[in-house]
Amino acid sequence: MKRTLFILFIFCFAVSYSQTTLFVPAQIPYSSSNYVDYGRGLEEWNGKNTWDNVVGVPLPNGVNHGKNYYYRFYWPALEPAQDSYAWSIFDTQIQYAITKGLSFSFRVMDMCTACLSAMSYPLYLHNLMQAEAANSRDWMNADGKWVPNWNSPNYQTRWAALLNAIAIHIANNSYNGVPYSSVIYYIDVSGFGDFGEWHTYPWTGKEPAGRKATGASLKAIIDASKTAFPNFQLGIPIAAFQSLYVPPSVGYYALTTSNSYGQIGWRRDNWGNALEDATLVNNTNFYNPGDSVHHFNYLILNKHNFAPITGEPIKNLMAVSTCGSPYCDLPREFNLYGATSMGNGNYPVNPVSGNVNLMNNIIAASRIMGYRVTIDSGRTTTSPVADGSFQVMMYWDNLGISPVYEKYVVQFELRNNQSVVWTGTSSFTPKLFLHGTRTITDNFTLTGVAAGTYSLYIIVRDPNSYKTPLTLNISGRGADGSYLVRSTVPVASNGASAANVKNHQQ
């Protein structure tokens, strides 16, 4: 009812304003599962280009996947010897993303207990740490796995060197004419804990004397990512703000610090586990940096307003969870935390193949994730004059649970058939645009446009010219990603009389 009244108001206003023509597009319903785009929806996870590595859960309505690809790298694979980098595996993965037109996100694991070797960081680094004082050496846990000493000066130096080398490689390389830097969506802030996930299970509290990571060391690890990747979106695993592993001062820093791109988002690698609410919405941690007390649960719940909430499903979830069926809690979790994307792998090892409830729960969750930027309605000058003013007013909205985090440029185009004769850039940008209608009025001049009849289109472009134009939550998307706003725009000659202009309006 509210939307109907709003459109009626715009229509009445347009009728009373003879210089405008109304545009009311049809919306894509939430029941549609084919609404996938960059930075939202289902993410191809670690090379799993079919939907799931075991269960065979189909993507909604047969779509392939979202437009996002995520991969984890093993430190020794990138740096087998000190300052000797092997880029083939990195290039293979990012070039795979480019070939398929996907964005690329990644993590480098500083440690991996699931990896085959007893040591999952470079041997040269082990030797450097073993040559340090006793409290700076790495050590072996009860499972026979070597654990790095995150306080070690050599560890800190070499981790920062690795990230800087990756940043240089990204900046200096391309594939098929596409710069690597144009493909990156987000980079995980790893460097601490098993799998780079910022937890130290199962040896928490069992570290040899003096070898538990200090707050200063952990802050330096975060800063290493900020320094190496100042202009890319960063995300940090949720264990970074759990006091069991990390001091509250560091958790607060992880939740509030920014690089030049913006705030750091958070990543959850156990979506579907309702018990994790205890450390998220019900997180009782707090910290006072000197101005006031800041509660972590508030920062956690509001992070999606500024940075993406990503992750993957929990692997060891029981076939029937606490709410009745596998992954039935996903829609609630996504809505609560404003999740933007989730991986398509890491599902239970031995579930019932083709579990219908599991499929339906994931399909329902996939419809919720991320943004749904839309145009409620709009209006334009009815009969502009060549080299004269042309006003376009749009009523934008976001029907999704989170905003767009990447930079896009909104442009209007006058076309003669498919030939673009004029382009105007709107003052509106969808980046960080949240819920609620926003009225944007753009006043252009039709410089260089000859008298004639044209069509007006809107298109939301990637300024790096890599990603396809942003998908709006309206029907009518063209093959080039544009939307028709108005099929007939009569542009009068600059020397036309007022009477001629009036005739065009009738």
pLDDT score recorded for residue 32? 65
Determine, yes or no, domain membership for 325.
yes
Judge if 231 and 308 occupy the same domain: yes
Of 413 and 341, more confident? 413
Judge if 164 and 234 occupy the same domain: yes
Judge if 323 and 453 occupy the same domain: no
Of 57 and 341, more confident? 341
- Helix axis angle for 153-172 and 123-130, nearest 10°, is 150
Determine, yes or no, domain membership for 134.
no
| Residue 220 in this model has a pLDDT that exceeds 70 | yes
pLDDT score recorded for residue 131? 97
pLDDT in tens, 100-142: 999 999 999 999 988 878 899 999 999 999 999 999 999 999 8
Across 499-504, average pLDDT? 42
- Cα→Cα distances 411→59, 434, 454, 458, Å: 32, 20, 16, 6
313, 333, 368: which is the final residue of a domain? 368
**At 96, which helix (H) or strand (E)?**
helix 88-99
| CATH number of the domain enclosing 312 | 3.20.20
Judge if 388 and 351 occupy the same domain: no
What percent of the chain has pLDDT above 90?
71
Judge if 255 and 302 occupy the same domain: yes
Determine, yes or no, domain membership for 363.
yes
| Residue 482 in this model has a pLDDT that exceeds 60 | yes
Helices (H) and strands (E) in the chain, counts: 11, 22
pLDDT category at 1 given cuts 50, 70, 90 is very low
**Among 216, 185, 220, 204, which residue's Cα sits nearest to residue 107?**
185
What percent of the chain has pLDDT above 70?
87
| CATH number of the domain enclosing 467 | 2.60.40.10
Judge if 176 and 195 occupy the same domain: yes
Distance CA 309, CA 301 (A): 10
Judge if 173 and 291 occupy the same domain: yes
pLDDT in tens, 343-367: 877 776 555 455 777 777 887 888 8
**Among 104, 276, 254, which residue's Cα sits nearest to residue 193?**
254
The three-class DSSP label of residue 411 is strand
Judge if 330 and 397 occupy the same domain: no
Judge if 351 and 429 occupy the same domain: no
pLDDT score recorded for residue 30? 78
Determine, yes or no, domain membership for 459.
yes
Of 500 and 147, more confident? 147
pLDDT in tens, 245-274: 899 999 999 999 999 999 999 999 999 988
User: Mean pLDDT for the chain?
Assistant: 88
Structure tokens at 220: 């330096």
Of 498 and 93, more confident? 93
Query: Among 149-163, 289-303, 352-366, 485-499, which is the least confidently predicted range?
Result: 352-366
Across 392-421, average pLDDT? 96
Distance CA 204, CA 221 (A): 19
Determine, yes or no, domain membership for 126.
no
368, 398, 431: which is the final residue of a domain? 368
Residue ranges making up the domain that contains 22: 2-28+372-505
pLDDT category at 14 given cuts 50, 70, 90 is very low
pLDDT category at 49 given cuts 50, 70, 90 is low
Judge if 396 and 348 occupy the same domain: no
pLDDT in tens, 283-334: 999 999 999 999 999 999 999 999 999 999 888 766 556 788 888 899 999 9
Query: Into how many domains does the chain fold?
Result: 2
pLDDT in tens, 446-468: 999 999 999 999 999 999 999 99
pLDDT category at 501 given cuts 50, 70, 90 is very low
324, 341, 368: which is the final residue of a domain? 368
pLDDT in tens, 380-404: 999 999 999 999 999 999 999 999 9
Judge if 225 and 278 occupy the same domain: yes
Judge if 405 and 420 occupy the same domain: yes
**Among 20, 191, 177, which residue's Cα sits nearest to residue 107?**
191
Determine, yes or no, domain membership for 101.
yes
The model's pTM is: 0.91
| Residue 15 in this model has a pLDDT that exceeds 70 | no
Torsion of CA 6, 9, 15, 21, to 10 degrees: -20
pLDDT category at 160 given cuts 50, 70, 90 is very high
pLDDT category at 7 given cuts 50, 70, 90 is very low
Determine, yes or no, domain membership for 486.
yes
Q: Beta strand pairing status for 483-491 and 452-461?
A: antiparallel
Determine, yes or no, domain membership for 63.
yes
